């Protein structure tokens, strides 16, 4: 389905338990990660829609939603989600965000712009990369540049460079025209906003997550007083896809 939010054509889906006839059940609003789209939630939506109303959307610049007309900052995405909620006249019982989607929720709830009964943050971003880790990222990226220019590797430069960025857990190369937005967003440390959150919060993290390491999850967990951290073994950053049944079960138990 499509709707106009802040002059941007926005792709979204609104699924009720038992179809349109059963307009009951707690509402879960899902926000996807960077350079992803709402299809990332296909598997858990298929499970959760039996008991909950599930609303999900493509954030601006991704999937079927139009690109922002300027270089957005995190606040712009928060305001967009807020306006989407108002336009659809929904009152989410749960705000669920993966990675970048979690970043939007932390900032939005911390600023009292977004409201929900409970929060579910899956491999959420929001912890600013420390100086040492940033230097490692930069070093590996430079190595990737050098290696990719060695003949005959120059012919597969793009592919190799992407692999290096995946190793260091960065979405930068996959940002395309959104690179400037990406840089503006990831520079913001959300620790201050996390501390302000009083809502009951469930963190779900992959034990082997390299994009948002488990230590980031533990830090965010320590900042939100009324929170719980669930770690799933043998899973990475896309835990909701890799372990969809287990993740959906934990969400259902938490939401009630």
102 and 44 in one domain?
A: yes
Taking residues 125-150, what's their average pLDDT? 53
Residue 226 lies in a domain: yes
Q: Is the pLDDT of residue 147 over 80?
A: no
Taking residues 13-41, what's their average pLDDT? 85
13 and 70 in one domain?
A: yes
Which residue is associated with the tokens 């996807």? Answer: 32
78: domain CATH number is 3.40.50.1820
Instruction: Tell me which residue of 115, 9, 10, 95 sits closest to 54, measured CA to CA.
Output: 95
pLDDT at 19: 64
> pLDDT grade, residue 61 (50/70/90)?
very high
52 and 79 in one domain?
A: yes
49 and 29 in one domain?
A: yes
Convert the pLDDT of each residue in 187-199 to its tens digit.
789 999 999 999 9
Mean confidence (pLDDT) of the chain: 85
Q: Is the pLDDT of residue 149 over 60?
A: no
Q: Is the pLDDT of residue 207 over 90?
A: yes
Three-state secondary structure readout of 157-222:
HHHHHHHHHHHCCCCHHHHHHHHHHHHHHHCCCCHHHHHHCCCEEEEEEECCCCCCCHHHHHHHHH
Residue 155 lies in a domain: yes
> pLDDT grade, residue 39 (50/70/90)?
very high
Residue 45 lies in a domain: yes
Residue 181 lies in a domain: no
The alpha-helical segments, DSSP class H, found in the chain are 42-48, 74-88, 100-110, 131-148, 157-167, 179-186, 191-196, 214-223, 239-242, 244-255
160 and 38 in one domain?
A: no
104 and 154 in one domain?
A: no
Under 8 Å between Cβ of 99 and 125 = yes
| CA 62/CA 38 separation, integer angstroms | 9
Q: Is the pLDDT of residue 146 over 70?
A: no
210 and 120 in one domain?
A: yes
**What percent of the chain stands above pLDDT 90?**
69
pLDDT at 130: 57
Note down the domain range covering 58: 2-128+188-255
53 and 146 in one domain?
A: no
53 and 119 in one domain?
A: yes
Least confident residue range of 30-34, 185-189, 206-210: 185-189
157 and 70 in one domain?
A: no
pLDDT at 24: 65
Under 8 Å between Cβ of 54 and 74 = no
Residue 68 lies in a domain: yes
Instruction: Tell me which residue of 2, 95, 51, 14 sits closest to 249, measured CA to CA.
Output: 51
Q: How many domains does the chain have?
A: 2
Residue 180 lies in a domain: no
Under 8 Å between Cβ of 87 and 5 = yes
11 and 76 in one domain?
A: yes
The dihedrals phi and psi of 191, each to the nearest 5 degrees, come to -55, -45
232 and 207 in one domain?
A: yes
């Amino acid at each position: 389905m499509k709707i106009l939010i802040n002059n941007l054509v926005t792709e979204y889906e609104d699924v009720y338990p038992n179809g349109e006839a059963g307009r009951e059940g707690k509402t879960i609003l899902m926000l996807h990660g960077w350079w992803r789209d709402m299809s990332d939630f296909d598997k858990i939506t298929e499970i959760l829609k039996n008991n909950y109303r599930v609303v999900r959307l493509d954030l601006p610049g991704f999937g079927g939603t139009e690109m922002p007309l300027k270089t957005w900052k995190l606040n712009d995405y928060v305001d967009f989600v807020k306006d989407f909620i108002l336009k659809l006249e929904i009152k989410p019982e749960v705000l669920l965000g993966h990675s970048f989607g979690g970043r939007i929720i932390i900032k939005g709830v911390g600023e009292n712009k977004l409201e929900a009964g409970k929060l579910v943050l899956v491999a959420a971003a929001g912890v600013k990369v420390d100086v040492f880790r940033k230097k490692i990222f930069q070093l590996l990226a430079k190595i990737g540049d050098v290696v990719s220019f060695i003949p005959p590797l120059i012919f597969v430069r793009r592919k190799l460079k992407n692999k290096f960025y995946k190793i260091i857990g960065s979405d930068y190369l996959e940002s395309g025209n959104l690179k400037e937005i990406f840089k503006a967003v990831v520079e913001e440390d959300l620790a201050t906003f996390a501390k302000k959150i009083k809502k009951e919060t469930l963190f779900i993290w992959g034990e082997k997550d390299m994009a948002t390491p488990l230590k980031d999850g533990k830090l965010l967990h320590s900042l939100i007083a009324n929170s719980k951290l669930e770690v799933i073994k043998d899973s990475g950053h896309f835990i909701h896809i890799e372990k969809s049944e287990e993740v959906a079960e934990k969400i259902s138990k938490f939401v009630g």
